Structures are given as structure tokens and as C-alpha cells.
Amino acid sequence: MKKIILLFFIAISARCFAQIPEDAIRYSWFPQNATARIMAIGGAMGSLGGDITAAYVNPAGLGFYKTNEAVLTPGFFSNNNKANFRQAETLDKRNGFSFGPSGVIFGFHSPFSGEKSNAICLAINQTANFNNEIHYKALNNYSSFGEQFAEELAKSNDPVADFLYSNSKAPYSIAPAWNSYLIDTVRVNGVLQVRAASERILDSGQALQQEMIKKTSGGIYEFALSFAENSNKKWLWGATIGIPVVYYKSNTTFIETDTSSNNFNGFKSLIYNDNFKTTGVGGNLKLGVIYRPKDYIRLGLAVHTPSFFLLKDTRTVNFNTQIESDSGNVYSYAEHSTTYTNDQPGESSYYQTTPWKVIVSASYVFREIQDTRKQRAFITADIEYLNHRGSRFSNNNEDPTDQETAYNKALNKVVKHEFKGTFNFRAGGEIKFNTIMGRLGFAYYGNPYKDKALKGNRTLLSGGLGYRNKGFFIDLTYIYNITKDVNMPYRLEDRANTFATIKQEQANVVATVGFKF
């Protein structure tokens, strides 16, 4: 199957390269999105079944259906972000809409065996939501944003003229940084070096004011076609073919300014703006089984293959600098990356595979009987293992250069070193009073970073109500999601790096409406 999917992508793809390590966990580290009922119980769906969310977690759970159902799951979220960057706190907000699993399920008796029943499901789900805004601002007396470009040029050992072309090999970094005078060559003790103009501020013992605003939007929208079979009421199995569509957009603005009143120190300000977009499509397979050793008890196991993505990045970058001359005059320079990408946004395409995922689960369903007035409650819990270090990048260039091949290998090695496997936990329960239901849930997603200094985790607390009557049902859930993460504005090889810690508190309201037919 993997070969078939890869062959399919190879057939339709164009030239491609690798990207950066942060792209790895964007498509693997996110909480499970589900219907309001399942979100209210922490998103646990590895063994419970009987909900359209099963198509995205354990498709065997669809095997419980013998009825037809259509559901729609809209949602609204409000993000409150608190960033701590070099001991200065900044607050920011972002609101938006989302949607959970929506689609139709057809449950029916097997045409080949009276004992068996089958279910088919067609669904769409926003499995990841990228809508967010990160903002932080602080003084920095240690390093500068411009140093990354100085470091890149120094390490290249190529003449700078090699980068200054209308179709440059460094159109987003060295070329515009050089022509905006953000970086330049200087002689130190007679040795030629590359330095950022802003370094003079730091060398004189002053601090730079740094401000970062990063707005992101989009998500992963996954179409699912599922089939499940309830073999003999003890064993259920199912499979889902998933087609995830990626749309990610980010706008990053980084502002660096001289905090001194000295107009003779060579640097006044930099406004850097990066517009970046990733689009693409992928494919994956989800397989699962549920075993019922006896009434009331359900045990589940599900395996998700990696998603094989064919992605395309589109990017433009602006450098606006104000450079002070030795006479104290301030000169402005504006450089746009399109000058170095043939007067149009640059594009690059590549393959990315996400990690494998394994879910084990158990549920206790109190009173599995037809009369809904006597159905009482259930509890359920999932344990999920996700190996974040398993993300891989590759190119499909027919004749890749040695540099591209080396970069790919190094990138995958860095992903293995930077990230680690995590155990994620989801648990919840429901109490049912005829047509009214009440639910509570909890979920925890572990830290994907191997470096202990980098803290990242997600904790979700949820509660909700449901109503089912006369062929109609509606569920309403509130989820309080606390995400801790880090954000590095830039990285340097020869200095200690700096990062902001982000604490995001997300209030999420999800509703699911549906009909039986």
C-alpha cells in the first residue's frame, strides 16, 4: 500500500526539496478532534465505537452501527496566549471557527451472512487547527536576529556575488540581508568576518528590543472513507482510507530596534516580514479491531500508518532596514525576496511523512440494551503512542545535488535527535438519563521535545451535555485546553539560543447535531 501511494505521488509530483525540523511536529503534535460527545469524554474513542469519530481513531468502532446516521460538528474557539520571552510577558488573543467530524454512516446487515453486519462511513474532519497568534516583545543584550544570516554567509564560504542573482540560491536570507546592509563583511584583527549591523549595539553593551508576531491559519482537513464489520458481536474490525488536505499559512513579523539614542552605532531598526504558505495532499490508512470478551467490556487496538504528504511551500520575505552611517545619518533599505526569485513568489515541493501511531483502549458500557431508557453509563480510556522522531522528509528530484542529498540526510537526523516518542492519554465517561446525557473527560498529550529544557504538553479538560429523541440528537461540549510550548525566533550555531515559552489557554465550544434515518 505504501508503495502504491508513493508511486501515485511520484507520478504527479514535481521537483522537490527538504525543509526545516519544526515542520515535523506541525503535522503530528495536535489534540484529537472529535464530535462534541467524544470531545466531552476527552476524545477517547479507541474502543467505544458507535460514533463517527471512530473513522479517525479506530474504524472498528463503526461496526457497532446497524442504523444510518448523518452528523454535523461545528465549533468555535478562543485562544489566549501568554508568552514569556527573556522574562517579559506578552498577552495575545485569537478567535476562530473550526469543525469536527461530519458526514454519513450507513449500517446494514451483511449481504453474505446473517450473523454479520457492516457499516460504511463518509466523513470529513479538521484533524488539526493551525489558527493562532503568538506575540512577544523583550530586550535582548546577547544575540541578534541578523546574526543568523551572517552565520549562514560565513559558513557558506561562497563569494557573496554568487547569491546576488535574480534566481538566487539564498533568496530569503543572504541576498536580501546583504543588499539591505543588515549584514556586511568586516576585518577583525586583520581577519575577514561576516557580521550583522545590529551586533555593534550588543558589542557596546546595549540591548536590542525584539518583537515577534506570528499569525498562523489553516489546518489539516481529512476526508475519510471507512468500512467496518461486526463479525460475531465479539470481534469487530475496520479500516479507513484517509485523504488529508493541508493548508497552512503563516505571517511572521520580527522587529528589532536600537534602544540607545546613539545615532553613530551603525544600526537603527529591522522589520522582517515572512509570508509562508504550505498546501498539499496526502494519504494514510487506519486499521483497528475491537474485542468484546463479554457484555459491557470492549477492548480496542488501532494502528495509523504515516500520512504520506506531497506538499508545496510558497514564500516571500521582506527586509526593511534603517542603517546609521558614521556621520549619524540614517538610511533606509527595502529588499524583497521576489527580486531574487524571478519577480514571483518562490515555490518548493517535497514529501513529508508523519509518524506511526498506535492506540490501545478499554471501555465499560453499562447496559448494552436496546431500550434507551435503561441505558445508563459508560467509561472509556485510550493510551496512544506517537513517535514524533519518526517524521521524515525526502525529495523527488531526479538528479539531486550532493548538497540536497546531504541536507535531507542531516534534516532527518536532526528530527530524530530533536524529538521523541510520546504517550498520550484520553479518558472520560457519560451518565445517561433517558434522553439527557452528561459527560466529563480529560486528555494529556506529552512533550515531543527531547531536550529537557524545552517544555511542551497539552492538557484538555472537558464537559458536555447531550439530548437524543425522535430520531434527532444534539451534543454540546466545552473544552478547556492548556498548551505549553516553546518558540524560537531564530537559531544560531555559535551562540546560546534564546526562546519564548508559550502558555496557550483555549476555550473551545463544540456542537454536534445529527439525525438517524
Residues 8-37 that bind another protein (CB under 8 A): 15, 17-21, 37
The grid cell for 240 is: 479507513
Minimum distance between the CB of residue 388 and another protein, rounded to whole angstroms? 14
Which residue, 123 or 285, has its beta carbon nearer to another protein? 123
Q: Nearer Cβ to another protein, position 284 or 380?
A: 380
* Binder among 8, 76, 433, 472 for another protein (CB under 8 A): 472
> How far apart (Å, rounded) are the C-alpha atoms in residues 83 and 72?
35
153 φ/ψ angles, rounded to the nearest 5 degrees = -70, -40
Instruction: Name which of residues 426 to 455 contact another protein (CB under 8 A).
Output: 432, 435, 451-453
CB 391 within 8 A of CB 415: yes
- Pick the stretch among 79-87, 283-291, 353-361, 477-485 that binds another protein (CB under 8 A): 79-87
Residue identified by cell 531574487 is 340
The one among 32, 33, 127, 140 contacting another protein by CB under 8 A: 140
**Alpha carbon 12 to chain centroid distance?**
25
Dihedral angle of Cα 40, 41, 47, 48, to the nearest 10 degrees: -60
- Residue 2 makes contact with another protein by CB under 8 A: no
Contact (CB, 8 A) for 123 and 169: no
- The DSSP code for 390 is G
Is 243 within 8 Å of 223 (Cβ atoms)?
yes
**Please, which of residues 255-294 interact with another protein by CB under 8 A?**
276
Q: Is residue 107 within the footprint of another protein (CB under 8 A)? A: yes
Residue 258 C-beta: closest distance to another protein, Å: 16
Interface of this chain with another protein, residues 200 to 239, rule: CB under 8 A: 200, 202-204, 207, 221
DSSP, residue by residue, 281-339:
EEEEEEEEEEE-SSTTEEEEEEEEPPPEEEEEEEEEEEEEEEEE-TTS-EEEEEEEGGG
* AA identity, residue 337: S
In the region spanning residues 394 to 413, those forming contacts with another protein, defined by CB under 8 A, are 407, 410-411
362 touches another protein (CB under 8 A):
no
- Contact with another protein (CB under 8 A) among 13, 67, 318, 457: 67
Site membership for another protein, residue 333 (CB under 8 A): yes
- Determine which residue in the list 152, 252, 457, 478 makes contact with another protein, applying CB under 8 A: 152
Minimum distance of another protein from residue 93's CB (angstroms): 19
In this chain, which of 36, 124, 134, 289 binds another protein, going by CB under 8 A?
124
The least CB distance from residue 326 to another protein, in Å, is: 6
258 closest CA partner among 347, 196, 169, 195: 196
160 lies in the site for another protein, by CB under 8 A? yes
- Write down the least CB distance from residue 16 to another protein, Å: 8
- By the rule CB under 8 A, 90 interacts with another protein: no
Q: Does 93 bind another protein (CB under 8 A)?
A: no
Q: Which is nearer to another protein, 356 or 364 (CB)?
A: 364
CA 237 to chain CA centroid, Å, is 29
The DSSP bridge partners found for residue 170 are none
Closer CB to another protein, 338 or 459, in the complex: 338
> In one letter, which amino acid is 154?
A
419 binds another protein (CB under 8 A): no
Q: Which residues of 441-470 are buried (b: 16+ CB within 10 A; e: fewer)?
A: bbbbbbbbbeeeebebbbebebbbbbebee
Residue 495 contacts another protein per CB under 8 A? yes
299 binds another protein (CB under 8 A): no
DSSP 115: S
Contact between residue 41 and residue 431 where contact means Cβ atoms under 8 Å apart: no
C-beta closer to another protein: residue 358 or 492: 492
From CA 271, how far away is CA 205, in angstroms rounded?
Answer: 22
